[in-house]
Structure 1
Amino acid sequence: MLSRPVTSILSIQNVSRAFYGRGRVVQALSDVSLDLEAGEFLTIVGPSGCGKSTLLNVVSGLMPASEGAVVFKGRPLAGVNHQIGYVTQADNLYPWL
């Protein structure tokens, strides 16, 4: 059986994100890795405070990773990625939409 090469449109490689404050460290993400191919659909679910929004903020470039890398279309993410967007489950759209 022949396997086709993996052509990831988005690659999250060993991403970690920590927050520092009030004399303590909160490790929101630790060593997260995944690859998405073009056309794939990803759903992220979990309890409040588990790092879902933090991961989305890192992947979209709104927040830097403490460690690891995000690669989008073969290029390392550097700053805000205007080709990635997301809407949270909260009521964030204009009322007429």
Structure 2
Amino acid sequence: MKELDVCHPDAMKELDASLVQISKSCKTQTQACLHLTEDIDKEYKKMPDRIVENTELIKNSYKEFIEEAQAAAARLSKVSFSDLAKSTEKSLNGLRTRYKIPTTL
């Protein structure tokens, strides 16, 4: 029985030391979780602004793309119509020459 009385205080000291370590560890983990939660909240609050910003970038990019496509189509149609007119005029002149039709009627 005396041996138990002697071991009991040592066991209690070890138990208390373990509880202190566990308590410190829990406190550290809790603080880390709170810090992480705050960081996540800050980033989450920034998301709507980022979405609006990205939407504007996409709109502007689309607008530029459409403008470039329209300009290219306009250039192409001018060149194509011009080339077509020249080709047609050349063919008509060839027919006039072949059938001896005067240029002015």
Q: For the superposition of Structure 1 and Structure 2, which TM-score range results when normalised by the shorter chain?
A: under 0.3
Rg larger for? 2
* TM-score, length of structure 2 as denominator length: 0.16
Higher RCO by CA contacts (8 Å cutoff, separation 6 or greater): 1
Name the one with the larger helix percent: 2
Name the one with the larger strand percent: 1
